[in-house]
Amino acid sequence: MPTVLITGCDTGLGRAFAQQYARDGWNVWATYRDLANTIADDRIRHAALDVTAFAQFDALRAQVGAEPIDLLVSNAGIGLDVGTLGELNFDYVQRMLSVNLVGALKLVETFVDNVAASQLRRIVLVTSRMGSIESNLSGGHYGYRASKAGLNAVGRSLAIDLYPRGVAVTMIHPGWVSTQGGGPQAPMDADQSVASMRDVVARMGNHETGNFVSYDGRSLPW
């Protein structure tokens, strides 16, 4: 069975990704910001990873070794900033860029050889439609939008640079989902969103790379 490594499994979508792939018999590496949140499932291998703590990437790389990773899911992220211009919280803006953008890039750099050594050779970056510049008609959310637009830019470059190694990169928007980040009003739960995203990813061939898509498979504007 294939192997998947997922970040941000403490809650929400990351947790649902780990549980669903484990249920389907995949070999799962789930990473957590806090190992106290470990999923109670002994089919899953658990590891600590705060994506802003670079030393933890080295420790995780040592733990995983040269094991092939068929699917690398960069899911860890922090949610919407709400400050308006004039009262922005720049510490939060910077943290958002560190987690949502720099952390995702560091994850891929750390495990790219493991992915290239696998059979499936897929990288999924959980992004957001809020990162679309073209469909931004409501403004605000400076940090979050910039972090996800930046992530999309990173994903596109990764897709080009990794094409010769047969590695495909997909930027996927999970929909509006009722998690810690999405809030309780969201119309979809984490299990529904993840089932749909997994289906979209499973249906894509490796020639389809560098795409920005929604959980239901629709292409999204940059």
Ligand X SMILES: NC(=O)c1ccc[n+]([C@@H]2O[C@H](COP(=O)([O-])OP(=O)(O)OC[C@H]3O[C@@H](n4cnc5c(N)ncnc54)[C@H](OP(=O)(O)O)[C@@H]3O)[C@@H](O)[C@H]2O)c1
User: Which residues are near ligand X by CB under 6 A?
Assistant: 7-8, 10-14, 33-34, 49-52, 75-79, 99, 126, 128, 173-174, 176-177, 179-182, 186
Pick the closer one to ligand X by CB: 199 or 206. 199
Say if residues 100 and 151 touch (Cβ distance below 8 Å): yes
* Buried residues in 50-89 as b, exposed as e (16+ CB within 10 A): bbeeeebbeebeeebeeebbbbbbbbbbbbebeeeeeeee
Q: Residue 32 CB, nearest distance to ligand X (Å)?
A: 7
Structure tokens that stand for 179 in this block: 């998690």
Distance of closest approach, residue 166 Cβ to ligand X, in angstroms: 26
CB nearer to ligand X: pick between 165 and 216: 216
**Which of 85, 77, 205 lies closest to 150, judged by CA?**
77
DSSP string, 40-69: S-TTEEEEE--TT-HHHHHHHHHHHTT---
Smallest gap from residue 164 Cβ to ligand X (A): 28
Question: Cβ(189)–Cβ(202) under 8 Å?
Answer: no
C-beta of 179 vs 209, nearer to ligand X: 179
Q: How many residues does the chain have?
A: 222
- Angle separating helix axes 142-162 and 103-116, nearest 10 degrees: 20
The least distance separating ligand X from the CB of residue 83, rounded to whole angstroms, comes to 17
By C-alpha distance, which of 109, 99, 4, 93 is closest to 53? 99
Residue 196 half-sphere exposure toward CB, CA atoms < 13 A: 20
Q: Based on CB atoms, which residue is closest to ligand X, 119 or 138?
A: 138
Residue 79 or 166 having the CB closest to ligand X = 79
Catalytic residue selected from 21, 32, 144, 215:
144
Minimal distance, residue 190 CB to ligand X, in Å: 6
**Catalytic site includes residue 144:** yes
Positions marked active-site: 144
